[in-house]
Amino acid sequence: MKRTLRKWQTGPYMTIGLIVINFVVFGLMTVDGGSENTQTLLRYGAVFKPLIVQNGEWWRLISGMFIHIGLTHIVMNMVTLYFVGLQVESLFGHYKFLVLYFLAGIFGNLVSLALGNPLALSAGASGAIFGLFGVWLMLGESFHANPYIRIMARQLGLFVVLALLSSVLETGIDVYAHVAGILAGFLGGYLVGVPQIGKIEPTKRIAATVALILLFLAAFWLIFTN
């Protein structure tokens, strides 16, 4: 019993839970008009600036993180979330992992609204997932003396560069959400801390907090002025 409880407490159930929710939503959309149907996407909460700004549907900043356009979109995102999420959740713990995930996803959607096509419809967990890559970059900066952290940060850093280049070259990819997610994850890692590995300098945590607040305010300002 104790072993089962310990396994449950230390298992990646937040990562698995997010994946399950994404696939459940995708299944519902598939049988209710199709995941690539514009009306279905809007009905289930895709990010669309006119509805958010004019109708006050800010909940779409969260719901849009659980909506995917087509089978390839969700499979690619969920496979990536599984492997990166396992690592981040094991290092930061369940609730800090969840905070980082939603912080990156929401900020990614905000920046997409602020800088992207105002009439474009966007959806997906990419911003949140790229935020987890940003978390690893923060770990590499703060704990580069740790061989495992250093190697993982380098490998994932290379992957991020390649993924961003692919985002720029391909059409229909929300580059703004990806870059913003990385930035939010990087700063958010300092904010929440990772005591399982070591301490983070208080000045870095304060600077990251101030930077995040300013970035969120700037995004809101751009949304209402563009």
Q: Which residues participate in catalysis according to the annotation?
A: 126, 178
CA distance 22 to 20: 5
Q: Are 65 and 125 in contact (CB under 8 A)?
A: yes
Contacts of residue 170, Cβ cutoff 8 Å, sequence gap at least 6: none
Tokens of 159: 């992957």
Q: Are 131 and 182 in contact (CB under 8 A)?
A: yes
Helix (H) or strand (E) holding 96: helix 94-115
Tokens of 140: 């590499």
Query: Looking at this protein, which amino acid is placed at residue 20?
Result: V
Helices then strands, counting H and E runs in the chain, come out as 12, 2
Measuring CA to CA, how many Å separate 94 from each of 15, 104, 142, 158?
9, 16, 21, 26
Helix (H) or strand (E) holding 39: helix 38-44
Helices 13-31 and 71-92, interaxial angle, to 10°?
160
